[in-house]
Structure 1
């Protein structure tokens, strides 16, 4: 019809007297575009007010005679004949154009490819496949037997980050993604890491005895030599050091001997540094895990993630890096030692007896227990590659869930990396096959990522986040971590953003399997979810920077042993045989269930109209923190430690604003037409703002990378406010009233800003604050 109108315009007016406005609207499938043409001209007015009928009749006020109707005048007869011919031509043109459009449309069954013919493009927001059918398809694609050849393919004795073994595995993953028909790419970084000395060694000498040269090491330790007295500090937790202080033990310049476990190596060293210690020795105690008295431990002590020599920005080649380093790098020495070396030291310590429950009839050490520690680690630059593949969505292709796994390890790293990489590959194969052969059409995209340098502190993943932070904002709406998904069989633990708790709990109830592993998984689902399944997301978890640095809702999970860590983590003994021992030879079955669990969550997130994220979950967390802060301020107000003008009123109102905004979003969802694609996108964007807007905009990502005020770390968090109030109450020297007031105000406005963003339109904002 648009072409016909243009033809008419030319017939009546010759050259067009109008402008043409083209509005290009992208088809939601991304395959075609429609052109809407609107005409606005004098011609349109003539056809209406001064149309053809009036132009043919100049005596419109007088009734025409019979002679005029019969066209007795030659001039009128010619005019009427021309008009009749013109109408005939117009009708012919319209018929021709309509017929030609039909001929050009790809509707001829004989000319179509059978595969293309079977594709039905989505025109609304409703999914083309029922969710129950999606679940069944995934279950059909995954079997335990399929994991054996995948395990074999990705197993490697030596694949430390940046090594030829790591590069070989990266190529295998890339080839798999390409084999599955996925769009692939790689992400190259040049990072600085610490390795043990190439010549010489790290060493220590206790009480002028035999020199010990451990082979294990802790990357990012300070280098040098220190001499001091040894003190035993159990697991090196803050509570352990406070107990030593209560016993009047001076920890300044001491060398602290601590067990592995409970908290990360980096946290142990950071806690010791706060106490004024000069060095930390870490070992695996046989009473926790008997892994052999000569087994070496490996790890890192950076209180952060990523390359610590490019904090806050990516380690791309040729980037001009300023001479800075992460504030999370320790300034004291740190070294691992074997259980035999540690036991020899503990047996000779003098001083006070160990507190009850600290593991042995030994002493805590005194000034006579002298030791010399020397660390000579070497800082090296390594090229690492992250590998990616994507299954693109059919509606919101620019919104995606990321699924990732660490690829490198200190040794064989079967539980640390092989299982996760295998699960990643099997998920990519299964979902790609569902899209290619079974008609499944995800609404949003799925990005599969294989990270390098995970053992050095999630370096590959963090550098990617730093490099593409602005691109990921409002696009990557979730991260699913596959590291350590199988380390035991008697427990199941999940650490995640509160936004994802409901999705996780629902997934646990839905995922099942006919084998014993599936039955076991169902039993986990029946337990108290908050008490027995959920655990905090720790800073050494690969999902942590996604959540606390980038504001992307994230989840990390795995089958575990009850109340016990996998004993061979951070060692070169992490092999298939050791993992079989920890799981009762059920590695393949547990890997299958873990794959179903991750796949179920990912598919739910890319299938449904609306993202399965519960914005009300944060409401209780915020209210709890505000209540605790209010109680602390009330308890010390009588001592006049805080100015009278300081009030919790504004933080309480900000908390209320978030609560109202969250409830309003739930109401808007209930009232919305889910067949409206644009409406669904608007609602999903409001959901996606929540996590990102809990990142404090008032602190530098270089100085405080984990800016999340509820789940991050640093002085800007609500937990830090509580600790600061406790320091004020106990008259600690570091307590600062003015600093607290500043942090308090900024945290208040961060909560209010998140509430405002969640509310949506500017005219919908809650201005009660």
Structure 2
């Protein structure tokens, strides 16, 4: 066929010896006509006396055509059939080429009506839709009135992880996703968690008094018995315990009594363990928790996330690893007690007065205030299910934003999980409807996730991340967390990766409120100082960011500067949340849906991901400046530890490389052709590498899971590097100059590696170091 097309093309180009000649001649011996068809090759064959050429040639010695036809010799019949077939093929090819030519270069007649104005050009599969139209569509789909029925559907008094209530809600979520026409699937895990003793209870006794048996507990506490003198430690933060040490109080072997709030239970226990304490008792102080004095508290003390007995890998049923534990599991006892129990202890404490800034007349306790704590939690295995639905993109379907909410709770968990699950389902319904009925076509996919075992430390979310780490780190470009999005109405707080700050700022100005916008109501003046806060360790967004390197955001309406008083209790009901919000729960849920929806839709609508890689430039330079100052201080005060050969030039050069690479990418974005899908994909992939390349490649995720050097925790971080310098400066026994220099080099090359990846092509990399 290709040879035939080539031949026909050469005919139209008039090339010699490459033609077909059609001759219609009058037969001199009668009125009949005949067709003579000669190919260039036939001419040669005639000269050589080829038989085929002789049949095609007029020859006076031959019978007339009519006689040949009447004779119907087999030879003539074969020739006629071949000639007819050849003519048909040639005619078909001519028609094909003419038709193809019209497709390539159509000729419009003079009467054609020209379109007025430019015709929208779309090179992708997704139809062009103005962003304002997208925003308006979402606003039409989401309303406060619709939340009443959704709240009722997903409210349940008992839905602890792995329970029948948890499974019941999971099935409801899947059913909703299917109703919306979404593809759904389930992710099953078998995780180990600690629950209170099946028989008996944890207990403590103060000054040899009667046993107290608290109902609440802290999962993943060490088990055993500890006896020591009580020491009041305020909130148990590092600075609180250091202030005790500055008073020459020895914390070794002491039982710390600390308030709930400000930092996670796990951080309180980890801080106490560093100081040598033997146990920690945590209580809800009436100043922060104006609740009944007999209300139990529930939580966990794993300094990490996920199943601590399968650190760094997923808890699938077929996984067979030798027994191992997370380094984040505490080695000391931890237990919650009620406010009433704590009050009875505090009243009997002796010793020094607590610092004035702690705002209390409590005494700190002396060595005669002895208490015995016994913890007998039991380790159980539970089957949990994460459930998912997806709205697939129309251009880059293999790139997706994930939006998720915790489904389980210690009790009713209305603010903890019901509101977030309702927002998740409503957002899925709204966007599905926009795609199905309004012509919206997201360029990228949206994955909706309902997690289980969130109360035990984002176990469901983390196990999913561990199970699909290699795929998610390349394809998931953002995570939006819906846990605790409504706990009050006085404030609005957002914790996120710096890459998403610009997107957050624009979203705040787009979501309307009764008095203007979220920005004008909550972010007046400096929105960053009024709205932004650090991402917390116990947030489900944290492992996405610090473990997997996926830009993440967590947000919510709050009661101001105080924590929601019913988190971790069985009092987390709709009635109490209504009181905390002035009966505005549906309205605040609507605004939460719009805030999350605006971010999701922006991320899947725009040609280029709305993430600002230059945001990290300032953060890196700030860390480098701090480290530089401390290095000089150590070299001046402890010159034998850090020789002058250790220069900051390496780290400064890496910082400069990132700065130049981020500016170059910003320039490439500015000069890019947004209609060039391949170019947009390349730039988006460069943006996606930033967060995950801040994960230190030099440490095991099993040993240091949160290895993001800027926002993580533990040895790989720049904060740890700065703290190590402080230890060297004060000649702390834990300081190790050789270890510091090793950490210093690895941190330098992590930043340089991120800069190289951001630069893109190998020839564009800056290796000045």
TM bin, normalised by shorter chain, reads 0.7 to 0.9
Could you tell me which of 549, 555, 558 is aligned with 1:557?
555
Distance change (3 Å), C-alpha of 1:519 and 1:49: same
- Deviating more after overlay: 376-385 vs 638-647: 638-647
Structure 1 residue 360 displacement after superposition: 2.6
Distance 1:545 1:427 in 2: 23
Deviation (angstroms), 1:410: 0.3
Contact 2:5 2:93 in 1 (8 A): no
**2:585 counterpart (579, 584, 587):** 587
Residue 315 of structure 2 corresponds to which residue in structure 1?
315
2:322 aligns to what SS in structure 1? coil
Matched residues in 2 for 1:101 and 1:55: separation? 26
Between the aligned partners of 1:649 and 1:240, the Cα distance in structure 2 is: 36
Aligned to 1:483: 483
User: Partners of 1:502 and 1:8 in 2: how far apart?
Assistant: 57
Structure 2: how far apart are the matches of 1:593 and 1:74?
Answer: 95
1:134 aligns with 2:134: yes
Cα 1:47–1:693 change in 2 (3 A) is farther
Measure, in 1, the Cα distance between the counterparts of 2:158 and 2:84.
88
Q: TM-score, normalised by structure 2?
A: 0.87
Specify the alignment match of 2:701 in structure 1. Answer: 701
**Equivalent residue for 2:453?**
453
Helix, strand or coil for the counterpart of 1:448?
strand
User: How many Å apart are 1:49 and its aligned residue?
Assistant: 9.3
Aligned mates of 1:631, 1:674 — CA distance in 2: 44
Q: What is the CA deviation profile of residues 360-400 of structure 1, one whole-angstrom value per residue up to 9, with x for unaligned ones? A: 32211111101110001010000000000000000000000
Is the Cα–Cα contact under 8 Å of residues 189 and 385 in structure 1 kept in the other structure? yes
**Does 2:594 correspond to 1:596?**
yes
Residue in structure 1 matched with residue 284 of structure 2 by the alignment: 284
When structure 1 is superposed on structure 2, of 559-568 and 387-396 the one drifting more is: 559-568
Paired residues of 1:665 and 1:758 also in contact (CA < 8 A):
yes
Kindly indicate whether the alpha-carbon contact (under 8 Å) linking 1:313 and 1:463 is maintained by their aligned counterparts in 2.
Answer: yes
Partner of 1:540: 538
Q: Partner of 2:613 in structure 1?
A: 615
Deviation at 1:530, TM superposition (A): 1.5
Aligned to 1:65: none
- Residue deviations 1:528-560 (CA, integer Å, cap 9, x gap): 122111111111111000000000000000000
CA spacing shift, 1:74–1:466, aligned 2, 3 Å = farther
Structure-2 separation of matches of 1:315 and 1:753: 32
Q: For residues 693 and 16 of structure 2, what CA distance do their matches in structure 1 show?
A: 57
Structure 1 pair 528–127 and aligned structure 2 pair: CA distance change class (3 A): farther
Please, which runs of 5 or more residues in structure 1 have no aligned partner? 13-38, 60-70, 103-119
**Conserved? CA contact 2:127–2:440, under 8 Å:** no
What are the residue-to-residue correspondences of 1:283-432 with 2, within 5 Å?
A: 283-432=283-432
How does 1:463-542 map onto structure 2 within 5 Å? 463-513=463-513, 515=514, 522-542=520-540
TM-score between the two structures when normalised by the length of structure 1:
0.87
The Cα offsets for residues 443-481 of structure 1, whole Å up to 9 and x where unpaired, read as 000000000000000000000000000111220000000
> Is the 8 Å Cα contact of residues 192 and 307 (structure 1) preserved in structure 2?
yes
Question: What's the counterpart of residue 665 of structure 1?
Answer: 665
Tell me, what secondary structure is at the counterpart of 2:205?
strand
2:571 corresponds in structure 1 to 573
What's the secondary structure of 2:327's corresponding residue?
Answer: coil
2:224 is matched with 224
Note the C-alpha offset of 1:667: 1.1
1:498-523 deviations in Å (ceiling 9; x for gaps):
0000000000001114x46x656641
Gaps of 5+ in 2: 21-38, 45-55, 66-79, 103-119
Residue equivalent to 1:715: 715
Give the CA RMSD over aligned residues.
2.8
- What is the CA–CA distance in structure 1 between the aligned matches of 2:455 and 2:85, rounded to whole Å? 84
Q: Secondary structure at the match of 1:357?
A: helix
Would you say how many aligned residue pairs link Structure 1 and Structure 2? 703
How much has 1:355 moved relative to structure 2?
1.1
Q: 1:228–1:72: structure 2 CA closer, same or farther, 3 Å change rule? A: closer
Q: Report if aligned partners of 1:127, 1:609 keep a CA contact under 8 Å in 2.
A: no
Matches within 5 A, 1:112-123: 123=123
Q: Which moved more, 1:352-361 or 1:203-212?
A: 352-361
Which one has the largest radius of gyration? Answer: 2
**Cα drift, residue 763 of structure 1:** 1.2
Match of 1:749 in 2: 749
Report the counterpart of residue 27 of structure 1 in structure 2: none
Q: CA deviation at 1:125?
A: 7.5
Does the 8 Å CA contact 1:283/1:342 hold for their aligned counterparts?
yes
